[in-house]
Amino acid sequence: MKRFYNKLDRIIKYMNNNRYTYSHNSNYEGRINSLLSESEVLDKINNRFSYVSLSTNKRDLGDFYINHGIKRFPVNLKLISENNKSCNNIVGLPRVMKYLFFEDQKVPISYLGISKAIKNNKFSKTVNDYGILVLIKETGHTYGGSLLRLKKITTNPTNGFQFKEIDNVKRDKNESKQFILDNYKCLLKKRAEPYFVLEDI
């Protein structure tokens, strides 16, 4: 996946050398403004890099893909304010888990399906990674990384995996897998907490 990381780094470098700043239109609500700007950023990236292809479906894992050979690595684009104090969501967790660890396996895309696949050791031979690209609206500063390399993941029982800051750390395949699985188990425990309370567990 080193080449995926290198290609993502080139996009980040380009965006920082050609700053794009968020233009606010008072006629639209904040969420609509973000969507409009996101489309412009995606077009800018797509027009500059031949190895990039844009999402064609709202249910796609990424807003765009970095292509290398037959592999397509999804990347989630986040436009955030420099005043943002909250965590940022990552796309639906069961779908991400299926992509990371069970891409060539027939695994239901649900928390139950993923949990059964983990329990039954139905992992694919290869492990995938999921890119994150963040652009600060007011300044155009861009940074990013990938899910397997995040130093810290915040687990939210409603929103799944979240991140606050992106500090990429180096992990081997097994360490990356264990890092995600540990956070997944932590999330499941939080989701089950209301049941534990009811049953005095």
Domains with residue ranges and CATH for the chain: 2-191 (3.40.600)
Rounded to whole angstroms, the Cα distance separating 88 from 90 reads 7
Q: Which residues is 163 bridged to in the sheet? A: 88
C-alpha distance from residue 57 to each of 62, 64, 102 (Å): 9, 10, 21
* Cβ atoms of 8 and 130 closer than 8 Å: no
Rounded to whole angstroms, the Cα distance separating 102 from 27 reads 44
pLDDT average per 10 residues of sequence, the chain (201 residues): 96 93 56 66 96 92 95 95 90 95 95 97 96 93 97 95 94 97 97 91 72
Rounded to whole angstroms, the Cα distance separating 82 from 1 reads 30
Residue 134 burial by CB count (10 A; 0-12/13-18/19+): exposed, middle or buried? Answer: buried
Residue 11 burial (CB count, 10 A): 22
Q: Which residues is 79 bridged to in the sheet? A: 135
Structure tokens at 110: 């649900």
pTM: 0.89
Task: HSE, CB side, 13 Å, CA atoms: give it for residue 58.
Answer: 1
